[in-house]
């Protein structure tokens, strides 16, 4: 790939590198960040890990999560942004003015999202390969091509990233190459059963969260002949429950398990007027990226999201999102959207 020499040049010239995640960390972003930390440390680099928000509890089974901090180091030589290639996902850095710190130094962006809004303009290298299942898989292929030392610890982090975005290798983001890479990592010594057991242990929830999950599922609505499931989280519940467990991942998997559901959307409504939407799609209905892009966000076919902060009333945002989602599903069913259908099945 033509960007590889530039990556090598930037890394060779830098001693202190900061690895940046977006303000919505997940298994892919944290796994990718920790993988880069291991890879860079094995090159003799000093590495700092940044994310604008606290790591959610369900990700704390990954060794090293507590090294991620909410402040950029005062001095660094270069940055690598993982699992994000849009400025809208770096809101905390924009609010503090620290985004200019990244812009002043060489910046590498590694991502895999099909639809991107507000592409980061100051990156010297941007690799956004939506054919990869995850940023973790992208990092593995880069390390393989550039013949970097890849420790078992780094591979464990990459495996976590892959499993996170492919929903345990169950969705259509997992390609034949994804399975090859998983096999190579297991051959190298990554213990997937042990990793899964740690994940399960940290995913256990307090009884209060279990009860809240039940209430969210009871509130879930089904529209358009049951093809779209959606639920709304108000600010008060975000404040009360998010420190314990992110309400979206808490219920979205169950929403997708309901018979006939093709898309599950978790809306969050904030007191300042902001509205966010987390979109997940079942296999065969990969319209998430197009839906998120329409709403001003981005992502890939089966997992995406958006944020609306222009003051538009919540009910209007919700109505527009649901209506466009129905349109996209209708195009899939009638075969009027060749591009959508092709992508929905291209990663299989």
CATH code (residue 264): 3.10.310.30
Same domain, 183 and 212: no
* Average pLDDT of span 2-9: 93
Residue 339, pLDDT above cutoff 60: no
Kindly state whether residues 155 and 26 are assigned to the same domain.
yes
Render the burial of 118-157: b for 16+ CB within 10 Å, e for the rest.
eebeebebbbbbbebbbbbbbbbebbeeeebebbebbbbb
pLDDT at 41 over 80: yes
Same domain, 187 and 68: yes
Pairing outcome for strands 46-50 and 68-69: parallel
* b/e per residue 303-318 (b: at least 16 CB within 10 A): bbbbbbeeeeebeebb
Residues 253 and 153 in one domain: no
- The enclosing domain of 101 has a CATH number of 3.90.1640.10
- Is the separation of the CB atoms in 298 and 292 below 8 Å? yes
Count the domains in the chain: 2
pLDDT digits (tens, 9 = 90+) for 245-298: 888 889 999 999 999 999 999 999 999 999 999 999 998 899 999 999 999 888
Task: In whole angstroms, give the CA distance from residue 11 to residue 80.
Answer: 10
One domain for residues 213 and 279: yes
Exposed, middle or buried, 40 (CB in 10 Å: 0-12/13-18/19+)? buried
Give the per-residue pLDDT at 147: 96
E strands, 52-188, are 68-69, 78-82, 107-111, 125-128
Residues 6+ apart with CB under 8 A from 69: 48, 49, 50, 51
Alpha carbon of 157 to those of 22, 111, 194: distances in Å? Answer: 17, 16, 13
d(CA 186, CA 156): 9
Is the pLDDT assigned to residue 170 strictly greater than 70?
yes
- 227-247 pLDDT, tens per residue? 999 999 999 999 999 878 888
222 beta partners: 229
Same domain, 119 and 63: yes
Mean pLDDT of 310-334: 95
Q: Which of 200, 220, 238 is the last residue of a domain?
A: 200
* Distance, C-alpha 153 to centroid of its chain: 21
Range of the domain at 326: 207-346
Q: Output the pLDDT for position 117.
A: 65
Identify the pLDDT of residue 344: 37
303 has pLDDT over 70: yes
């Amino acid at each position: 790939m033509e960007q590889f020499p530039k990556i090598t040049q930037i890394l060779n010239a830098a001693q202190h590198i900061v690895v940046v995640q977006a303000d919505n960390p997940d298994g892919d972003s944290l796994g990718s960040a920790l993988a880069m930390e291991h890879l860079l440390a094995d090159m003799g680099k000093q590495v700092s890990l940044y994310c604008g928000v606290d790591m959610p509890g369900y990700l704390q089974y990954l060794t090293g999560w507590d090294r991620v901090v909410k402040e950029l180091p005062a001095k660094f030589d270069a940055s690598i942004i993982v699992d994000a290639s849009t400025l809208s996902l770096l809101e905390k850095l924009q609010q503090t003015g620290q985004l200019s710190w990244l812009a002043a130094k060489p910046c590498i962006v590694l991502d895999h999202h099909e639809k991107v809004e507000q592409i980061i303009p100051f990156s010297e290298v941007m690799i956004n390969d939506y054919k990869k299942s995850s940023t973790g898989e992208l990092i593995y292929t880069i390390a393989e091509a550039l013949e970097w030392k890849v420790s078992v610890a780094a591979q464990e982090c990459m495996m976590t990233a892959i499993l996170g975005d492919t929903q345990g290798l169950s969705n259509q983001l997992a390609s034949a190459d994804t399975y090859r890479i998983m096999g190579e990592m297991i051959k190298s010594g990554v213990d997937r059963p042990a990793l899964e057991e740690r994940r399960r242990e940290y995913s256990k929830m307090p009884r209060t969260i279990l009860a809240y999950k039940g209430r969210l599922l009871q509130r879930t609505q089904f529209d358009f002949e049951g093809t779209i499931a959606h639920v709304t989280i108000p600010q008060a519940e975000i404040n009360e429950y998010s420190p314990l467990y992110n309400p979206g991942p808490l219920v979205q998997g169950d929403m997708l398990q309901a018979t006939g559901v093709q898309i599950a959307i978790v809306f969050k409504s904030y007191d300042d007027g902001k509205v966010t939407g987390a979109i997940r799609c079942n296999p065969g209905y990969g319209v998430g990226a197009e839906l998120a892009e329409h709403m001003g966000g981005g992502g890939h076919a089966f997992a995406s999201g958006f944020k609306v902060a222009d003051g538009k009333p919540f009910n209007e945002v919700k109505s527009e999102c649901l209506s466009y989602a129905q349109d996209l599903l209708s195009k899939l069913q009638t075969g009027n959207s060749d591009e959508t259908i092709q992508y929905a099945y291209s990663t299989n």
